[in-house]
Structures are given as C-alpha cells and as structure tokens.
C-alpha cells in the first residue's frame, strides 16, 4: 500500500510512525501437559497457505487461459490482504484488502474471466507462465515466503502441454515428488465449453484419492521431565518426525527469562546421521539478551543432500527459576530447509510444570506515589513461612519481566538509580509484580499496575514545561532504540523501546503546557 503524505513541519514523522507492520508468529501447537489446556495458535506462517494447483499450459481453448489455485490446510481463516504472488522473483499480483481464504478452502486466480468458464475466480490477473518452467511463490504482507513451487526455476514438476493437464500438489515441500499431473474429472470447463484437465476449487485428482496436502511432518519439543522443581536443570529436546530431505535448520526459541535461565545447547545426531556427515552447529542468545535463543545447523557436504526420517535436532539446557509453568516457543523466524527450498512441518511446543514449593504469595499489594516525584512505591503484607526476601520486577518495553531488586522489607520504591527501573515517565502505566522467595523457590507472583501523575507526558527533560528543548532532545535521538548506547528512556514516552513519531505526538499534544 502506498501513502501520499503532505509533509508539513514535523508532521511527516508522526505519520511515518503510524505506518508499521509486525511479523506474525510461527504457527505452533501447544502440547498437552497435565493441568494445562491444549492451545492452538494459528497465524500466517510458512505453509499456512499452499500453492495447490497450477494450470501452466492453459487450456485447449487457449494456451493463455492459465490459472493458479491456493489451498488453506489449516483450521482458521487466513487474511490475504497485501499478500503477493511472485513469478521468478518479481511481484506479479497483490491481493486486495479483505481477501481471505477459509479453513480447508481454496482461492482461485484466473488469467481471465473465462479461463475456467463455469467457476467464478476469486481474483484475476494477466499471468504469463512459461511452459519451460517458472518459480512461483506466495509471499505475505511482511515479505515472508509462505510457499514456493519450482524454486530451481527448471521444468515444471508435472502437468502436460499436449493435453493441457494441470500440475496438482499431492504432498508438502518443493520437490517433484510433491506434485502429479491431473487426470481431471471435476466438471470444470474452459472458454470453449470443453472439459478442463484439472480440478479448480475441488479436491485434487492425483495422489491416491486427491486429499489436499497437510503438514504430516513435525518438529516437536519435549522436556526431559514432566515436571521440575525451582533450581533444577532440565533439558529441552527438539526432534524432527517424518521429515523429508532436511539439509539445514534455524530455530529461534523464545522463553520467559524470569522462569528459565538458558545454560547451553548441543546438536543432536539426526542432521549429521550419527556423525557420519559433517555439519556446522551454532548457538547463542540473540544480542546477548536472555529470552531469545538462536540455534542453527547445516550440512557441510557436497553433493548437497538432505536426510529423511526422524531424530533429534538439538538439546538445550535450562535452569528452572520460577513457576507454576515454563514455556519455550518457536519464533516466526524459525525454519527448516532442504537443499533447494524451505520445508513446512508442524511446530509443536510443550509447557513444563514447575513445582513452586510451599512458598505462599504476598497479599495486600498496593501501589502509590513515592515521597518524591517520578517515583512509584509498592507495599505489601508479609507472606507466611518467613521468606528469605521479596523479588520485585517490572515489565519492560518488550514485554519481558526485569528484576528491579530483592528486599527483605515490605516495600520498594521504583525511582531513578534503580538498575533496570526508574526513569519514570509521567502518566505512563507501568506493570509490576512481587514474589516471595525462600531457598531459591519463588511463590506465584502478584501483579499490579501504577503510574506517577505528577508531571507532563512529553516533558522529556523534566523542566515541567513542554517546549523546544524537548523537541530538540527528541530530534537528536530520533530513530534510536534501547539497544543504542545513547538511548534516553525519558524521551521514549510511549515506553516501546523506540524513539519515533509516537513520542513526537506526545510532545505535539502537550506543547507549551506547564505543570504547576
């Protein structure tokens, strides 16, 4: 989508800040754990929509009457707004706003209204598919490649130009074994009223009954124990099941760093075929920060061939810090690949049940203004069983709980000078939680929200006046993130880890106001 912006003064910064997209998370399935409900998370991830059938040869009425059928193998509607079809790497068609594909449904794209004369197309664009073979991709609105067919741009895997038979998908993955030539029989007709050798908008004819493709392969997490105590070290095993031609993987594991502490990771034996094949294995916390673990391994062999079957990919060790449950998830950047294209297995995660011991939680947690401005004071009642101390945490700009301190008393003040805290922005609602800790066992945390109303949002130099100095401050730090060495939390008035147009809006909304 293109936007025509009238740039007046600083307003274009404000508008630019509103034009932002966020990648959808990788599709995962929450495995059953005693005492926890099953959870299924559906999103636009690789394999969420597949290129199911391509009539690259056209029809007997005209070789130009080409069409492409998409299929949704999932259990939820997929929004196609802003998605694209790419032909040999070039954007060929962009889906209109509001376009979607139902769960278990089809989306038919025709070259013209009469490409399939008795079936109305969901979209029409003037495609031109080479009989010698093209690479066709479907890409979501964030630029993520959702599915690829004929990634090598060689000859089509199936279909016939002599009979104008389409190429039908019979399995997941971008390889010849995943496609077959249609035998037709669906009742679809071409522009001349003759039968089409293809199955637009119905179950494919090929592949032993033509059941639409599903992701039968799986990458699954398993904990080394069904439950653990706080302080235990546990292993998270990530395994591949019924995978075909796996050559490399890149897994991004996300976790709550207040519940789990990453210790180490080692490669499994599956990709290396038990050590018979050379591989390179890499591991590390993203940007050195807890909460996102990067894992990758690739075969270092020639000729480049993958491995098929089932086996262990990687084992990661964690120390359990808190409960009652601890989860690790696959981030959207996670992938598995054959030597020529990405693979699309189901990604299954599991929660660890944590025995939090006998430590009771705090009660009577309250929040109020501190004695000084730009302070928030937390107070609570003593927990039973005489805990060693109380742990106080604040939710940071990225949704992660950060420890502000451990105290033996019954109150804590968040203010400048507190490591990981302080820098209170007036009128921003902060989230805190307090846990009782005894012998490294933490209670279930109690959460509360609070803000300091004694000041002006946008007064980033704390002069009690929103003026040109505040604007100058923001401009000199514009586009910085909290990873920048010069980042100033007081300028980030929206508390999102970025100095951008949304913070400028706060200055504009309150400009020239004075706090009395």
User: What domains lie within the chain, and their CATH numbers?
Assistant: 28-41+216-355 (2.60.40.680), 50-181 (2.60.40.1260), 363-450 (2.60.40.10)
pLDDT computed for residue 39 by the predictor: 31
Tokens of 91: 């954007």
Helix axes 11-18, 501-510, angle to 10 degrees: 130
Closest to 135 in 3D by CA, of 151, 147, 155: 151
| Integer angstrom CA distances of residue 431 from 379, 417, 428 | 14, 18, 10
Mean of the pLDDT values across residues 123-152? 89
The lowest-confidence range among 147-156, 300-309, 353-362, 503-512 is 353-362
Those residues with Cβ within 8 angstroms of residue 132's Cβ, 6 or more apart along the chain or in another chain: 155
pLDDT interval class at 329 (50, 70, 90): very high
CA–CA separation, 427 and 412 (whole Å): 20
pLDDT interval class at 207 (50, 70, 90): low
pLDDT computed for residue 36 by the predictor: 32
CA–CA separation, 280 and 247 (whole Å): 11
Helix (H) or strand (E) holding 44: none
- Count, residues in the chain: 516
CA–CA separation, 145 and 332 (whole Å): 12
Q: What is the pTM of this model?
A: 0.41
Residue with tokens 């980030």: 492
CA–CA separation, 28 and 9 (whole Å): 45
What percent of the chain is predicted at pLDDT more than 90?
60
Q: Using one digit for the tens of pLDDT, what is the confidence trace for 22-58?
A: 333 333 333 433 333 333 333 456 778 999 999 999 9
Strand order of the β-sheet with 179-181 is 123-124, 106-110, 67-71, 50-55, 167-169, 179-181
CA–CA separation, 389 and 436 (whole Å): 6
User: Is pLDDT of 308 > 50?
Assistant: yes
Phi and psi for 501 in degrees, rounded to 5? Answer: -65, -25
Closest to 164 in 3D by CA, of 120, 116, 202, 210: 116
CB-CB contact of 246 with 338 (8 Å): yes
CB-CB contact of 409 with 391 (8 Å): no
pLDDT interval class at 6 (50, 70, 90): very low
Mean of the pLDDT values across residues 153-174? 89
pLDDT interval class at 358 (50, 70, 90): low
CA–CA separation, 428 and 440 (whole Å): 32
CB-CB contact of 320 with 263 (8 Å): no
Closest to 335 in 3D by CA, of 147, 70, 507, 98: 147
Tokens of 338: 């054959």
Q: Using one digit for the tens of pLDDT, what is the confidence trace for 391-403?
A: 999 999 988 899 9
């Amino acid at each position: 989508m293109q936007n025509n912006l009238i740039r007046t003064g600083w307003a274009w910064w404000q508008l630019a800040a509103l034009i932002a997209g966020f990648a959808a998370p990788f599709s995962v399935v929450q495995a059953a754990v005693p005492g926890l409900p099953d959870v299924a998370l559906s999103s636009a991830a690789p394999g969420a929509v597949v290129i199911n059938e391509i009539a690259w040869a056209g029809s007997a009425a005209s070789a130009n009457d080409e069409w492409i059928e998409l299929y949704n193998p999932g259990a939820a509607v997929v929004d196609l707004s802003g998605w694209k079809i790419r032909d040999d790497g070039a954007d060929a068609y962009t889906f209109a706003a509001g376009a979607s594909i139902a769960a278990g449904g089809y989306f038919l794209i025709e070259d013209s209204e009469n490409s399939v004369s008795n079936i109305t197309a969901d979209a029409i664009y003037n495609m031109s598919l080479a009989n010698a073979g093209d690479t066709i991709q479907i890409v979501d609105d964030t630029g993520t490649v959702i599915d690829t067919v004929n990634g090598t741009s060689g000859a089509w895997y199936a279909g016939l130009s002599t009979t104008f038979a389409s190429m039908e998908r019979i399995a997941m993955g971008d390889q010849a074994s995943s496609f077959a030539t249609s035998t037709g029989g669906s009742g679809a007709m071409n522009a001349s009223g003759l039968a089409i050798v293809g199955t637009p908008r119905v179950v494919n004819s090929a592949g032993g009954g033509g059941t639409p493709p599903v992701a039968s392969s799986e990458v699954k997490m398993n904990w080394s124990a069904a439950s653990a105590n706080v302080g235990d070290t546990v292993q998270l095993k990530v395994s591949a099941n019924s995978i075909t031609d796996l050559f490399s993987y890149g897994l991004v594991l996300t976790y709550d760093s207040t519940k789990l502490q990453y210790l180490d990771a080692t490669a499994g034996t599956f990709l290396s075929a038990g050590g018979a094949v050379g591989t390179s294995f890499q591991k590390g916390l993203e940007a050195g920060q807890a909460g996102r673990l990067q894992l990758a391994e690739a075969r270092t062999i020639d000729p480049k061939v993958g491995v098929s079957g089932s086996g262990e990919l990687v084992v990661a060790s964690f120390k359990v810090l808190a409960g009652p449950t601890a989860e690790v998830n696959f981030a959207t950047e996670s992938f598995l690949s054959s030597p020529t294209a990405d693979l699309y297995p189901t990604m299954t995660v599991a929660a660890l049940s944590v025995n939090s011991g006998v430590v009771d939680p705090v009660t009577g947690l309250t929040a109020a203004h501190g004695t000084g401005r730009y302070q928030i004071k937390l107070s609570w009642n003593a927990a039973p069983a005489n805990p060693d101390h109380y742990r106080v945490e604040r939710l940071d700009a990225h949704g992660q709980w950060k420890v502000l301190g451990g105290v033996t008393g019954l109150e804590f003040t968040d203010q400048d000078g507190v490591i990981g805290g302080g820098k209170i922005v007036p009128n921003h609602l902060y989230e805190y939680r307090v846990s009782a800790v005894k012998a490294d066992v933490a209670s279930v945390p109690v959460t509360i929200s609070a803000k300091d109303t004694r000041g002006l949002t946008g007064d980033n130099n704390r002069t009690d006046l929103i003026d040109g100095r505040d604007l100058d401050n923001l401009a000199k730090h514009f586009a910085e993130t909290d990873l920048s060495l010069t980042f100033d939390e007081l300028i980030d008035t929206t508390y999102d880890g970025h100095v951008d147009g949304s913070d400028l809006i706060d200055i504009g909304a309150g400009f020239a106001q004075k706090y009395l």
